[in-house]
């Protein structure tokens, strides 16, 4: 038998073997495709998680100290904002450590650049006299800069971060639905992020209750009709 016939025979036998294998396990290709899809989805998920983690690091509100403003919060400005966020936080923590135990030092930054916006919020553990001690540092020197220290609730920054662009992480809590998106647009008109006043929140609550009662009444009328 010549070489050409041998090649044809070997090719034919291999194709028969493959066909037999496929016939033996007809779902193998489907399982392989499922495994491949699972692996691709897993890689995409890991990549998205890594990107989200990286964005949170750059987000102004991506730290545990972002929340915590209350009636006892101290507002500080006038410090050198050319340093990094961590450097400013460390300098402020050291400067106010004599006032008592600090529970929070939040330095507001721009998400895109990471540059400080020139003010910070500080909370101290309530033991008595620590607020007065912190306020007594008004006009004190920090690295050649004169600090302005006051109660945060007396400042506009306590209620609104003026001309703050924010990022998608900042807006994430308000874009999950139409009502939240409406609240976000309401709170960020002109680049502002502000709290609702108690009166406004009460007005919204009453409006919501009235609307839900009206819907309930309309449904009952529809059923009766």
Q: How many structural domains comprise the chain?
A: 2
Is residue 82 included in any domain, yes or no?
yes
Domain that holds residue 114: 74-158
One domain, residues 123 and 197: no
Q: What is the DSSP string of the chain?
A: --HHHHHHHHHHHHHHHHHHHHHH-TTHHHHHHHHHHHHHHHHHHHHHHHHHHHHHHHSTT-STTSS---TT-EEEE-S--SS-HHHHHHHHHHHTGGGS-EEEEEEEE-TTT--EEEEEEEEE--SSSHHHHHHTTTT-EETTEE-EEEEGGGSGGGTB-TT----HHHHGGGSSSHHHHHHHHHHTTTS--BPPPHHHHHHHHHHHHHHHHHHHHHHHHHHH-
Asked if the structure places residue 105 within a domain, the reply is yes
Asked if residue 42 belongs to a domain, the reply is: no
Residue 22 maps to a domain: no
Q: Are residues 82 and 118 in the same domain?
A: yes
Q: How does pLDDT run across 193-219, given as a tens digit for each residue?
A: 445 556 666 766 777 788 788 888 888
- Specify the pTM: 0.57
Statement: residue 135 has pLDDT above 50: yes
Same domain flag for 112 and 188: no
User: Domain end: 116, 136, 158, which one?
Assistant: 158
Q: Say which CATH number the domain at 80 has.
A: 3.30.70.330
Same domain, 111 and 143: yes
**174 and 107 within one domain:** no
Are residues 152 and 179 located together in one domain of the fold?
Answer: no
Q: Tell me the pLDDT tens digit for each residue of 95-106.
A: 999 999 999 999
Lowest mean pLDDT among 39-53, 68-82, 185-199: 185-199
Q: pLDDT exceeding 70 applies to what percent of the chain?
A: 66
């Amino acid at each position: 038998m010549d070489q050409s016939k041998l090649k044809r025979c070997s090719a034919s036998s291999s194709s028969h073997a493959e066909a037999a294998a496929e016939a033996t396990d007809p779902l193998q290709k489907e399982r392989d495709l499922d495994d491949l899809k699972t692996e691709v989805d897993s890689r995409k998920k890991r990549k998205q998680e890594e990107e989200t983690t990286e964005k949170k690091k750059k987000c102004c509100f991506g730290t545990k100290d972002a929340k915590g403003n209350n009636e006892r919060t101290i507002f500080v400005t006038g410090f050198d904002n050319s340093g990094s966020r961590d450097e400013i936080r460390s300098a402020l923590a050291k400067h106010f450590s004599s006032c008592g135990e600090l529970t929070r030092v939040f330095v507001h930054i721009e998400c895109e650049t990471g540059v400080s916006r020139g003010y910070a919020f500080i909370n101290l553990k309530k033991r008595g006299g620590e607020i007065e001690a912190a306020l007594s540092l008004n006009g004190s020197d920090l690295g050649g800069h004169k600090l302005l220290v006051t109660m945060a609730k007396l400042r506009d920054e306590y209620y609104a971060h003026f001309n703050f662009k924010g990022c998608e992480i900042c807006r994430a809590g308000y874009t999950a639905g139409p009502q939240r998106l409406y609240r976000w647009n309401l709170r960020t008109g002109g680049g502002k992020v502000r709290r609702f006043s108690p009166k406004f929140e009460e007005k919204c609550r009453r409006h919501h209750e009235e609307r839900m009662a009206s819907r309930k009444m309309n449904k009952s009328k529809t059923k009766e009709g």
